[in-house]
Chain A
Amino acid sequence: MNTTDTHVTRADAHLPQVHEPRNAGVAVDLSWVRAVQANTSAIERRAATLPGRRSVKKDHQAAWLCKAISLIDLTTLAGDDTEGRVRRLCAKARQPARADILDALGMQGLTTGAVCVYHEMVAPAVEALRGSGIPVAAVSTGFPAGLSPYRLRLAEIGESVAAGADEIDIVISRRHVLQGNWQALYDEMREMRAACGEAHVKAILATGELGTLRNVARASLVCMMAGADFIKTSTGKEGVNATLPVSLTMIRAIRDYETRTGFKVGYKPAGGISKAKDALTYLALIKDELGNRWLQPDLFRFGASSLLGDIERQLEHHLTGAYSVGWRHAVG
C-alpha cells in the first residue's frame, strides 16, 4: 500500500463531491413520505441482536477502530468554549492518537473526520486546522432548539460559511415533523441547503424529540428530498441521542432514497456513542445495511467527544495486551 498520500490530504477530501455527485434533492413526494413505515418493535429486536451478530477481533479490530477515528467529528459544543480550547481540540484532531501507537499500527497520518464547533469558534478552528485537510463543521440555525427567528437562522449559515466552515450542521424545526407538516420541513431544508452554498449540509433531526421511529423515517426522507448531504440524529442536547434503532431507521431511509434517486446521502449518529465497542457495532451496522462505500468520511461520521479516548485506550491495549488508562493519552 502506498501510504504517502495520507499525510497530505486536500481540504475537500472528506467531501462528497470528490467521489459522488452531491445529493441535489428531488421534488417533494408526499405519497412516498406517507407510505414510509417503521415497525418499532421489529426494529428494536434487530438492533438488540446486532452487537451479538458481529464481532471484530485483533488486527481487524484495531483497523476498524482506526477507521472509527477517521470518521469522528471531534466535537465541542459548550458554552465555555474558548479559542484556546478549540485549538487544543484541533491539535487532537490532527494527532488523534499517540504517535507511537499509530506508528506501531502503520497508521501514521490518521486524523479525525472533522472538527465540529459553534459559529464563534469556526475561525479559530479553521486557523488551527489549516493544511491538515480536516474540515470544520459548524452547528447552526439556532442550534440546538432551532427556534430563533427564521431569517436569522438562515443568516447564521451564511456567516459560518463565510468564516470558513466546510460543513454546516443545521437543526430542523421539530414542530414541522410533530405536526405532519412535511411541506414546511421540505421548504425549510431546501432554503437552508441553498444558504449553505458549496458547504455541505447535515440535517440534525433531533430524533429524541420526534416521538416515533415512523416520524424519524419520514423526516429523514423529507430532508433527503430537500437536498441534505447528511442526515444526523441529534444535537447531543436531547434527552435521548443516537440509538441503534434510530440509526437503523435512518439508514434504511438512506438506502431507499439511494435506490429511488441514485443519490448517496451520509449518516451521522451523534451523542451517546462513547465506547469503542459501540463504535464497532455502528460500523458493522453501516457495513451490513449500506455497504462498505458508506464507511468513508464523505458518507459517515460519528458525532462524539469522548469516544476517541476510549478508542485510544483500546488501541494501546491491542498493542501491549495490557489495559490502558486515560492519562496515558493526550487530552483534546
Chain B
Amino acid sequence: MTVKEIFETMDYGPAPESAAPALEWLVDMGDRFGCFIDGKFTDPGETFEAKNPATGNVLAHVTQAGQADVDAAVTAARKAQAKWAKDGHKRARTLYAIARLLQKHARLFAVLETLDNGKPIRESRDIDIPLAARHFYYHAGMAELMDEELPDQVPLGVCGQIVPWNFPLLMLAWKIAPALAMGNTVVLKPAEYTSLTALLFADICRQAGLPRGVVNIVTGDGAVGEMITAADVDKIAFTGSSAVGRRIRAATAGSGKALTLELGGKSPYIVFEDADIDSAVEGLVDAIWFNQGEVCCAGSRLLVQEGIAPRFYDKLRARMDTLRLGDPLDKAIDVGAVVDPVQLQAITKMVDGAQGDIHRTPGPLPAQGCYYPPTLITGLSPADRLMQEEIFGPVLVSTTFRTPAEAVELANNTRYGLAASLWTENINLALDIAPGLTAGVVWVNATNLFDAAAGFGGVRESGFGREGGWEGLMAYTRPRGTAKKLSPIAPYTTDDGDPIPPLDRTAKLYIGGKQARPDAGYSRPVYTRTGKLLGHASLANRKDLRNAVEAMTAAKAWSATTGHLRAQILYYMAENLSARADEFASRINALTGGRSGEAEVTQAIRTLFKWAAWADKHDHRAKPVPLRGTALAMNEPVGNIGVLCDDARPLMGLIEPVAPALAMGNRVAAVASGPYPLSATDFYQVLETSDLPGGVLNILTGDHADLVPHMAAHAGLDAVWSFSSSALSAEIERASAATLKRTWVNNGQTRTWPSATWLAQATEVKTVWIPYGE
C-alpha cells in the first residue's frame, strides 16, 4: 500500500518487535538446555520441544528432568540453605542485583516470554517483566528487614516450587523472591510449555552472584512436579489448576511439608447501574482479554445490574469489535496466541455448544498458530455450566442481577474464591460490597492490579496462602521454637466404677446454643484415674457434626459483629469462668488425675483475656501500592472452623484454639479432649451465661478419629485444626483435598504457638484495591 492509500484507510499495519536478540540467546545457549542445579547448567538429557504457540516453530529443546536431577537439585539446595539463611543483608544485595539484572535485560525477557507463551509483547514488556523486577526489589527489602522485623520467624528450609505457564517469569518471581528473602533455598519447576524465561533467569542468577544451590531450576512435565512434591523438601508452593492442587494436597498429606496453593478461579466482575460504564467496559478488556484470558484471577463472570444490561452489552460488543488479535510480537496487538494447541482445544471444547447469545471479535484468525477469538456469552444463568467452570481462555460469560444483595449472592455462588471486581461510583456501596465478596482480592473500579506489597491468593477451591506483602512471608517462614512429640492419651477405664457423688449433671453436646442429645444416642462413661465414674460423654457422629456446621453457618452474623463486642463476650466468658474457677479446677484434676487444675483454669482465663484484647486490635493494613489509591489488607475471619482439641488439657485444649478463633470472628465446632471431655461440656454452661450467640461455638464430644473424615470432607467447614494426640494429621490433609479447605495439623507434635500464628490461622487476608481520584 502506498502512503496515500494508507492515508485513506488509516490501517494500523504491522509493528513487530524483533525476535532476533532472544533467538540469538537461544542459539548462544546451544538451543538445548539442561537443568540449572547447584549453580551450573547440567548437560541436556532427554529433551522435549519448547514451541512458539503463535507459529508452531520449535524454539529450543528442554530437558525432561529425571529423579537424579531432582535429587541433585534438592541436595544442592539443602547444602546451600544454612549459609544462605545467615546474612539478611547479603541476601538483600543479591536480590537487589537480580532485580537490576531483570531490568537490564528487560526486553530480552519480554521477547523470550512472548515467543514462548504467546502473550502480546505489550503485556510481557509493560506488565510481566516490570512486576517481576518489582517483586525482587520489594523482597530485597524484606531480606534486609527480616532480622529486625521478624525476629521470631525462621526459614522453612528447602522449598519446592511449581509454577504455571500463564505468567512464567512473574510466577517464578512471586515464588522465588519471598522464599530467598526469608533465607530459604528453592527447587523450581517451570511449566513444560514455558521453561525458557526460567532458564534465562538461571543465567541471570549466575550474573547476580547468587551462591550455588540457592536457586535450582528443573524442567519437565508433571512427573517432575510429582518428584519435587515427594522429595525431601520442607515446603511446596504451587500455582496452577485446582485439579493438580488437589493431587499435591493429597500427596503431601501427613508429610509435615508446608503447603501453599494458588489455584483456579471464576472471578465475578460486578457492574452496578451507577458505574462509569465506559470504564467498566474497558476494564473487562484487562479482566478477561488480558493474556488471552489465561489468568487465574480473570474477571470471567460478568454480573450486570438489570437496568443497564442491554446498554452495557452493546458497548461491550462494540469494544470487542476493535480488539486486535494476532502476532504476539506485534506492538499493536491486544490478544495473542493461546499457549498450546492442547489448551486451545480445551477452550474450544468447553465453549462449543454453549447456550446463550455468543458474540465474538470479528475478523479472520491468523492462518497458523493457536488463536481463539475474544468471546462474550450473555443470557446465561448461574445453572449453566459455563457460569461455574473455569474456561481459562478469552471467554466471558454473563448474567444479570437486581439488587446489591443479589449481586453478592451470585458473586459468591461458586466453588472458587480468588478475586472479584466491582464497579460503582457510590463509595458506600463499594465499601459495603467488598467485604461481602468471597475472594482473596477485590478490585474496586479496577481489575487485575498487582503489586509486590499487596497480598494475592484465594479462598475456597482457589487455594490457600498469600503471595506478596508481609502476609506472603508467612508462607516461607515458621515461628522459632521446637516441637515435642505427642503420645496418644487413652481414657481411664475400669470394670466397676462407682459414681462420684454428687453427680446429677448430664453432659450433652452443645449445638446452636442448645444442649443436644447425640444423634446416635450413645455415650461413653468417663472415669477418674482411680476408676470412679465421673459421668458420661456423648458420642457425636457425623450428623451431630452436620448439625453443628449448620448452626455455625446460621451464626454468620458473628463474623460481622464488631471486635469490641467480641472482646466483651470473651471477657464475660473469662469472668464467668473465674467465678467457677474452683469447680473447673477440681473437675480438671478429677479428669486427669493430676493437680494442675487450678493452673489450667488460671491459664484459660488469661487466654480468654488475651484474645479479648486482640479481638479489636488485629489491625488491617493499608498497603503502599504504586497507584493513587490504597490496597487494604483486611483481616477477615476464615469462617467455619472445625477444631480437634488437645487431649492432654481438658479446659485449655478447648480455650486455646477457640478463643483466638472466636476473637477473629470465626464460628467453631470443637471436638473436646477425647480422654477428658467433661471440662468442655461444663464450659457450655459458661457460654450460656456469657451472651455468646448460639451456633458461634459448638462443642462436641466423641472419638476424634470417628469425626475426622467427616470434618475434613465437610464442604461447609472452611478450615480444620487438629491438636489431637491421635495420629490424624495425614488423614485430615488427605481428606481436605476435595474441598481444598485450609488445614492446620500438629503432625503428632505439640508446641506453643505465638499469637502471630494464631492470628494468621484464624484470618484470611483480603486485599481490597481502592484507586481514587476525582
Seen from chain A, the residues whose Cβ lies within 8 Å of a Cβ on chain B are: 1, 3, 37-46, 49, 52-60, 62-64, 66-67, 70, 105-107, 212-214, 252, 255, 259, 283-284, 287-288, 292, 295
Give the CA-CA distance A255 to B446 in the complex, in Å: 22
* B4 adjacent to A3 (CB under 8 Å): yes
B282 and A54 form a contact (CB under 8 A) = no
Q: How far is the CA of A58 from the CA of B331 in the complex (A)?
A: 13
**Cβ contact within 8 Å between B774 and A56:** no
Q: What are 20 A-B interface contacts by the 8 Å CB criterion?
A: A40-B773, A41-B628, A44-B628, A46-B282, A49-B126, A53-B122, A54-B331, A55-B331, A57-B13, A59-B1, A59-B2, A59-B6, A63-B10, A67-B10, A105-B4, A107-B3, A107-B4, A259-B314, A283-B10, A295-B10
- In Å, the complex CA distance between A59 and B9 comes to 13
Residues in B whose Cβ lies below 8 Å from that of A64: 6, 10
Contacts of A56 in B (CB 8 A): 12-13, 15, 332
Q: Are A41 and B8 in contact (CB under 8 A)?
A: no
Which of B8, B125, B332, B425 interacts with A54 by CB under 8 Å?
B332
Complex CA distance for A56 and B12, rounded to whole angstroms: 6
Residue pair B771, A41 in contact (C-beta under 8 Å): yes
Task: Let me know if B4 and A60 touch, CB within 8 A.
Answer: no
Q: Is the CB of A105 within 8 A of B3?
A: yes
Q: Most chain-B Cβ atoms within 10 A of its Cβ — which of A39, A56, A66, A105?
A: A39
Query: Which residues on the B side are within 8 Å of A292 (C-beta)?
Result: 9-10
Report Cα–Cα, A45/B771, bound state, in Å. Answer: 10
Q: Which 8 A-B pairs have the closest CB atoms?
A: A60-B13, A63-B6, A42-B279, A41-B771, A55-B331, A39-B276, A55-B15, A37-B276
How many Å lie between the Cα of A62 and that of B6 in the bound state? 9
Give bound CA distance, A145 to B332, whole Å.
Answer: 40
Taking CB as reference atom, which chain B residue is nearest A58?
Answer: B13
Please indicate the chain A residues that have their CB under 8 angstroms from the CB of B277 in the complex: 37
Query: Are A41 and B773 in contact (CB-based, < 8 A)?
Result: yes
Which residues of chain A are near B276, meaning CB under 8 Å?
A: 37-39, 42-43
Question: Which B362-389 residues have a C-beta within 8 angstroms of A?
Answer: none
B624 within 8 A of A: no
- Would you call B736 an interface residue if the criterion is a C-beta within 8 Å of the partner chain's C-beta atoms? no
List, in ascending order, chain A residues with CB within 8 A of B322's CB.
288
Give the interface SS of chain A, mostly helix, strand, loop or mixed. Answer: helix
Q: How far is the CB of A60 from chain B (nearest CB, A)?
A: 3
Question: Are B2 and A1 interface neighbours, CB within 8 A?
Answer: yes
Given contacts A283-B10, A295-B10, contact A41 B332 (CB under 8 A): no
Query: B14 contacts the other chain (Cβ, under 8 Å)?
Result: yes
Taking A42-B771, A53-B332, A59-B13 as known contacts, 18 extra A-B pairs with beta carbons closer than 8 A to each other, sorted by chain A number, are A1-B4, A37-B275, A37-B277, A39-B279, A39-B423, A40-B773, A40-B774, A41-B629, A44-B628, A45-B771, A55-B332, A56-B332, A59-B1, A60-B13, A63-B3, A105-B4, A212-B774, A252-B278
Q: Given A41-B771, A60-B13, verify A53-B334 contact (CB < 8 Å).
A: yes
Considering the complex, give the chain B residue whose CB is closest to the CB of A62: B3
What's the Cα separation between A287 and B332 when bound, in Å?
Answer: 13
- Residues of chain B lying within 8 A (CB to CB) of residue A58: 13
Question: In angstroms, how far is the closest chain B Cβ from the Cβ of A312?
Answer: 15
Of the listed residues A42, A59, A62, the one surrounded by the most CB atoms of chain B closer than 10 A to its CB is A42
Chain B residue at smallest Cβ distance from A46: B282
- When chains A and B are docked, how far (Å) is the Cα of A3 from the Cα of B445? 49
Query: Distance in Å from the Cβ of B131 to the closest Cβ of chain A?
Result: 14
- The reply to whether A45 and B446 contact each other, CB–CB distance below 8 Å, is yes
Determine if B293 is an interface residue (Cβ-Cβ < 8 Å): no
Judge if B28 is at the interface, Cβ distance under 8 Å. Answer: no
Q: Given the known A-B contacts A41-B445, A52-B126, A60-B12, are A107 and B773 also in contact in the complex, defined by CB atoms under 8 Å?
A: no
Other-chain contact of B425, A39, A49, A59 (Cβ < 8 Å): A39
CA–CA, A179 to B628, complex, Å? Answer: 27
In the assembled complex, how far is the CB of residue B334 from the closest CB belonging to chain A, in whole angstroms?
7
8 A Cβ contacts from B322-356 to A: 322, 331-332, 334
Across the interface, do B12 and A54 meet the contact criterion of CB distance under 8 Å? Answer: yes
Closest to B6 in A: A63
B-side contacts of A44, CB under 8 Å = 628, 773
Q: How far is the CA of A272 from the CA of B283 in the complex (A)?
A: 27
Complex CA gap A56/B314 in Å reads 29
**CA of A213 to CA of B13, assembled, Å:** 33
B7's partner among A66, A212, A288 (CB-CB below 8 A) is: A66
Q: Which residues of A contact B774 (CB under 8 A)?
A: 40, 212-214
Q: B68 to nearest A CB, angstroms? A: 45
- Contacts of B11 on A, CB cut-off 8 Å? 60
The CA-CA distance from A19 to B334 in the complex, in Å, is: 32
* In the assembled complex, B274 has its CB within 8 A of some CB on chain A: yes
The answer to whether A57 touches B773 (Cβ under 8 A) is: no
Question: Does any Cβ of A come within 8 Å of B496's Cβ?
Answer: no
Q: How far is the CA of A248 from the CA of B274 in the complex (A)?
A: 19
In the bound assembly, the distance between CA atoms of A64 and B279 in angstroms comes to 27
